[in-house]
């Protein structure tokens, strides 16, 4: 028997094998911390979450912010397309994973989904580079949504951008839950973006002619926590799954398909109608 032709490489995770089995784990370390020997029972879920991505333990303030953000994102509610998709899985009796795959695919989107967060975080990177005292320049960074002349590898498959990232294209004024979340998160004093957003929300929304969406708030929070746009996109997908899962199960076990909306249809290219029109003509 020969050894592996190439190894898996990681800076995140180290496992020591059981003495009697090279495939079983005796101890696991995450970025050097003994997960089961030291962290378990002492650290919080968000501590490990932050550690996994950033390679270091969060400060108490960062952990509080991430914990609060996770709560704010946990359930977009049954009207959200992502949760609706998961519920469609539940109502038909699809497998649990199918409901979550549905939630992830829909929740990945460029309008209201994880791609929206990533693009908004890209915009926050431009915001950092803009002169601190130039409010107009900073706002311009956050509302730009021109499509690039040439698609980058990460642009593949995505449609043209229809609105600035992180804003609600159908909003009239800032939704109450967004304002409540912004006030709470900005008050936690981590990073400059949330407090700037809180202070300049009116000017920013006026320039965008759209109200801030929860994705825009999440983007600012992820960026204040030090996450990259790619990390923010991934975390947004992850942190919105709890509500999708719960709603999928509720439809499957409590309500069933007979109480799930199945709207009437307005078929605008109907051969029966065409035939009737032709016979009249």
Partner 1 sequence: MTRGPQVLDAHADVLQTRVGAAFPGSRAVFRGHDLHQSALKDIDWLSLCAFGIFGRHVPPEQLRLFNSVWVWTSYPDSRLWNNRVAALAGTTRSTPTLSLCAAQALSEAAIYGRGIEFRAVDFYLKTRKILQGGITLADHLESFLQAGGRMAGFGRPIATADERVALSHALACDLGLADGEHVRLALEIDTYFAATRPHLRINVAGLYSAFAADFGWTPREFSLFMFVTFQAGMNPCYLEAADKPPGAMFPVRCADVRYEGVPARAWPGG
Task: Provide the binding-site residues for partner 1, judged by CB under 8 A.
Answer: 3-4, 7-17, 22-25, 29, 31-34, 38-39, 42-43, 55, 57, 95, 97-98, 101, 105, 149-157, 159, 162-163, 169-170, 172, 210, 263-272, 274
- Residue closer to partner 1 by CB (options 20, 131) is 20
Q: How far is the CB of 156 from partner 1 (least distance, A)?
A: 4
Q: How far is the CB of 43 from partner 1 (least distance, A)?
A: 6
Q: How far is the CB of 35 from partner 1 (least distance, A)?
A: 9
- Residue closer to partner 1 by CB (options 76, 186) is 76
Alpha-carbon distance 218 to 212, whole Å?
Answer: 10
Structure tokens at 79: 């009207």
User: With contact defined as beta carbons under 8 Å apart, do 231 and 71 qualify?
Assistant: no
User: With contact defined as beta carbons under 8 Å apart, do 245 and 100 qualify?
Assistant: yes
H or E segment and range at residue 33: strand 33-34
Q: Given the DSSP bridges, would you call strands 21-30 and 13-18 parallel, antiparallel or unpaired?
A: antiparallel
Q: How far is the CB of 30 from partner 1 (least distance, A)?
A: 9
User: With contact defined as beta carbons under 8 Å apart, do 133 and 196 qualify?
Assistant: no
Return the biggest CA–CA distance within the chain. 86
Helix (H, G, I), strand (E, B) or coil at 54: helix
Alpha-carbon distance 195 to 217, whole Å?
Answer: 11
- Residue closer to partner 1 by CB (options 24, 203) is 24
- Residue closer to partner 1 by CB (options 131, 149) is 149
Say how far residue 271 (Cα) sits from the centre of its chain.
42
- Residue closer to partner 1 by CB (options 194, 231) is 231
Using left for φ > 0, alpha for ψ between -120 and 50, and beta otherwise, residue 124 falls in: alpha
Q: How far is the CB of 65 from partner 1 (least distance, A)?
A: 18
Alpha-carbon distance 238 to 232, whole Å?
Answer: 10
Q: How far is the CB of 219 from partner 1 (least distance, A)?
A: 20
Q: How far is the CB of 220 from partner 1 (least distance, A)?
A: 22
- Residue closer to partner 1 by CB (options 131, 264) is 264
Q: What does DSSP assign to residue 152?
A: -
- Residue closer to partner 1 by CB (options 11, 258) is 11
Alpha-carbon distance 112 to 45, whole Å?
Answer: 26
């Amino acid at each position: 028997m020969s050894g592996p032709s190439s190894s898996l490489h990681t800076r995140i995770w180290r496992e020591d094998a059981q003495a009697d089995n090279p495939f079983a784990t005796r101890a696991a370390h995450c970025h050097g911390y003994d997960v089961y020997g030291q962290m378990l029972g002492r650290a919080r879920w968000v501590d490990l979450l932050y550690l996994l991505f950033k390679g270091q333990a969060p400060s108490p303030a960062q952990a509080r912010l991430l914990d609060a953000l996770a709560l704010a994102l946990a359930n977009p509610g049954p009207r959200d397309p992502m949760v609706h998709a998961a519920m469609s899985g539940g109502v038909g009796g699809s497998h649990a994973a199918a409901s979550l795959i549905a939630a992830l695919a829909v929740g990945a989107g460029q309008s209201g989904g994880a791609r929206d967060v990533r693009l908004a975080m890209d915009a926050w990177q431009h915001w950092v580079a803009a002169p601190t005292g130039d409010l107009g320049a900073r706002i311009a960074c956050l509302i730009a949504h021109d499509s690039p002349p040439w698609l980058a590898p990460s642009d593949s498959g995505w449609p043209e951008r229809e609105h600035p990232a992180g804003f609600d294209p159908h909003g009239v004024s800032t939704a109450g839950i967004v304002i409540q979340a912004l006030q709470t998160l900005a008050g936690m004093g981590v990073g400059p973006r949330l407090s700037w957003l809180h202070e300049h929300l009116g000017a920013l929304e006026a320039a965008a002619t759209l109200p801030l969406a929860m994705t825009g708030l999440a983007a600012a929070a992820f960026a204040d926590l030090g996450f990259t746009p790619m990390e923010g996109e991934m975390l947004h997908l992850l942190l919105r799954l709890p509500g999708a899962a719960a709603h999928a199960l509720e439809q499957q076990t409590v309500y069933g398909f007979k109480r799930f909306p199945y709207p009437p249809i307005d078929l605008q290219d109907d051969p029966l109608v065409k035939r009737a029109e032709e016979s009249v003509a």
